[in-house]
Amino acid sequence: MTVQAPRGTQDLLPGTTEKWQFVERKITDLCRRFNYQEIRTPIFEHTELFQRGVGDTTDIVQREMYTFTDRGDRSITLRPEGTASVVRAFVQNKLYGSPTQPTKLYYFGPMFRYERPQQGRMRQFVQFGVEALGSKDPAIDAEIMSLAMSVYQELGLKSLKLVINSLGDTESRNNHREALINHFEPHKEELCADCQVRLTKNPLRVLDCKKDREHPAMATAPSILEYLNEESGEYFQKVQNYLDHMGIPYEVDKNLVRGLDYYNHTAFEIMSDADGFGAITTLCGGGRYNGLVEDLGGPETPGIGFALSVERLLMALDAEAVALNENSGVDCYFVSLGDKAQEEAVRLTYELRKAGIQIDKDYQERKLKAQFKTADRLHVKYVIVLGENELENNQVSVKDMESGEQQEVALCELVTYLIKALQGDKQDGK
């Protein structure tokens, strides 16, 4: 057997890459409108960054990281997410010193997590993410969510659900944590094995357990929203007010918890309602992470961001049968007959390409008919034919593939003729 791509990775082939390019262009354009600038960070980092940034107790750090020792005996990890790297770069390059704050950044690139692959979950996957560092204005929380929603909406998705929650500040979280432990402790034996561990480690996670969802204690569990202190409560209320003002529909889910340790205050997810989606419906996740910049050695700087999976975005587009008008292919095809003509065809094709014309030719030494078949399959607008007859007269035949009409054009006029013809088509809306 020949060597295969490693488990959980995939090749993106022509036909699919056009879709990716289309989506990337759309997102880049959107970021420009929202004034977020691109940042590119390394694909691998010191392992310590993720242990400190993502959190030592998270599943990502504990069992999903691609970690190895390099030749210099350093522990290196392929990045499992983007926020830690962006914050590290923010601190290291002292972007907090820039006169324009908040610092609004976006990134695009592969992430790596060692998990059991299934649809919508690859070991290497591509995330688009956004971070706004340096503002604790609830309006920026709303802006971040509006940007995330815009990505999906502008690509034509309809079945979307924005779910938000507040995790509160440290004080609120500690109070809630205590209340949760007190609430569930009497029922500990009735909970699933995972939750028994969670109860002491991270009781918040018990709330979104799928197994114990029906347990009576779940319905009466203390909600984080009841434990928000005044400041946190007001903050959350303001975020909702801004969303209302912008006309962005959402629902509050008091059980929404995110898996990364660094989140506080605003947490949100965007999910797909579309049919044909399996167990994985979360398209995008994000939230506020005040304190993370300090944890990574920077000055006190609030932050908020989100990340979305491009693979899942494309799955959603597929599920809703959204057609992307990605443009690919060429406008012209050069058909030649005989060695002499081939020589001239090679030269002319190059000339046309240098003049900006999209054109291809045959490299299989195929018959005229077969070359035309290929041209037809490529949906070209014009076929240029060069045979013995044309060669003698220093001209080519240019065939309009739609009308079927054919015209003789002098070699020296071919470039201008084609440019004119293609421009004409464009104006006609072809």
Partner RNA sequence: GCGAUCGUGGCGAAGUGGUUAACGCACCGGAUUGUGGUUCCGGCAUGCGUGGGUUCAAUUCCCACCGGUCGCCCCA
Binding site feature residues? 81-83, 113, 127, 131, 258, 262-263
Task: Look at the block and give the residue holding tokens 């035949």.
Answer: 397
What is the chain's length? 430
Contact region with RNA (CB under 7 A), list: 111-119, 158-166, 176-184, 417-425: 111-119
Beta-carbon contacts of residue 153 (< 8 Å; ≥ 6 apart): 160
Cβ count within 10 A of residue 409:
18
Half-sphere exposure of 124 (CA within 13 A, CB side): 12
Distance in angstroms (rounded) separating the CA atoms of residues 39 and 286: 18
Query: Of residues 278-317, which lie at the interface with RNA (CB under 7 A)?
Result: 278-285, 307-309, 311-312
Q: How far is the CB of 423 from RNA (least distance, A)?
A: 20
Nearer to RNA, 6 or 186 (CB): 6
Contact region with RNA (CB under 7 A), list: 173-181, 226-234, 365-373, 412-420: 365-373
Taking the alpha carbons at both ends of the chain, their separation in whole angstroms is 47
Going by their DSSP bridges, the two strands 37-38 and 103-112 should be labelled as: parallel
Task: Look at the block and give the residue holding tokens 């959603």.
Answer: 316
Q: How far is the CB of 38 from RNA (least distance, A)?
A: 19
The helix/strand/coil state of 82 is coil
Q: How far is the CB of 113 from RNA (least distance, A)?
A: 5
Does position 370 bind RNA by CB under 7 A?
Answer: yes
Does position 121 bind RNA by CB under 7 A?
Answer: yes
Q: Which residues pair with 45 in a beta bridge?
A: 77
Of 74, 245, 377, 420, which one interacts with RNA (CB under 7 A)? 377
Half-sphere exposure of 206 (CA within 13 A, CB side): 33
Per-residue x/- mask for RNA, residues 239 to 278, rule CB under 7 A? -------------------xxx--------x--------x
Does position 156 bind RNA by CB under 7 A?
Answer: no
Does position 425 bind RNA by CB under 7 A?
Answer: no
The helix/strand/coil state of 239 is helix
- DSSP structure class, residue 320: T
Of 60, 86, 151, 296, which one interacts with RNA (CB under 7 A)? 60
The helix/strand/coil state of 321 is coil
Nearer to RNA, 49 or 280 (CB): 280
Does position 331 bind RNA by CB under 7 A?
Answer: no
Contact region with RNA (CB under 7 A), list: 65-73, 88-96, 288-296, 393-401: 393-401
Query: Of residues 188-247, which lie at the interface with RNA (CB under 7 A)?
Result: 194, 198, 205, 209-211
Q: How far is the CB of 240 from RNA (least distance, A)?
A: 21
Does position 376 bind RNA by CB under 7 A?
Answer: yes
Cβ count within 10 A of residue 261:
19
Return binding residues for L-histidine. Answer: 81-83, 113, 127, 131, 258, 262-263
The C-alpha angle with vertex 87 and arms to 83 and 88, in degrees rounded to 5, equals 115
The helix/strand/coil state of 328 is coil
Distance in angstroms (rounded) separating the CA atoms of residues 129 and 34: 13
Cα radius of gyration (the chain): 28
Does position 16 bind RNA by CB under 7 A?
Answer: no
Nearer to RNA, 58 or 232 (CB): 58
Distance in angstroms (rounded) separating the CA atoms of residues 424 and 403: 14
Does position 118 bind RNA by CB under 7 A?
Answer: yes
Does position 115 bind RNA by CB under 7 A?
Answer: yes
Half-sphere exposure of 269 (CA within 13 A, CB side): 15
133: left (phi over 0), alpha (psi -120 to 50) or beta: beta
Q: How far is the CB of 42 from RNA (least distance, A)?
A: 19
Contact region with RNA (CB under 7 A), list: 177-185, 231-239, 289-297, 384-392: 384-392
Tell me how many residues contact RNA (CB under 7 A): 70
H-only helix segments in 247-338: 292-295, 310-319
Query: Of residues 74-103, which lie at the interface with RNA (CB under 7 A)?
Result: 81
Nearer to RNA, 394 or 406 (CB): 406
Nearer to RNA, 282 or 328 (CB): 282
Q: How far is the CB of 253 from RNA (least distance, A)?
A: 13
- DSSP structure class, residue 223: P
The 382-386 sheet, strands edge to edge: 359-361, 332-336, 382-386, 395-400, 406-410
User: Which residue ranges make up the site for RNA (CB under 7 A)?
Assistant: 1, 4, 6-8, 58-60, 64, 81, 113, 115-122, 125, 127, 194, 198, 205, 209-211, 258-260, 269, 278-285, 307-309, 311-312, 337, 366-370, 372-377, 383, 385, 387-390, 397, 399-404, 406
